Structure 1
Amino acid sequence: MKDYKVETLIYYSKLTLDVNHIVKSSKLEIQEKLGEYTKNGYRLASTDASNFGAAMYIYLYFEKEM
């Protein structure tokens, strides 16, 4: 049997000339979440992303054997 967890991270777009500002600002937080779940025995099973208005939603799907 597997245990599943979903982590949702939300980032907001801002007016800037740097088109990669969300990528740059999200790397550290995503890496921290990966480390946190890995420490608890989970592995990253899948990812997804969507946007709505000025927000970008990143979904991290984790699983582990029970």
Structure 2
Amino acid sequence: MKEKPEAKQRSINGNTLECPVCKNDTFWMRKTLMNTKGMTFFKLDWANKEAQNYVCDSCGYVHWFIQP
């Protein structure tokens, strides 16, 4: 069984991240591919852009961030 990543305080552009649901301030990070229909059709899912997710360690709410 895979261990859950370390939960800790995170900041985005200098602002401390806080869960809008439970007000918790610790999150663990994961990366997710932003799949598109076209890339999936051609079986090129691996080439899609990647988003960074911060998951609330208390309630599981997921924040999604992509690089501009």
TM-score computed with the length of structure 1 as normaliser: 0.30
Larger helix share, 1 or 2: 1
Higher relative contact order (CA 8 A, sep 6+): 1
Larger strand share, 1 or 2: 1
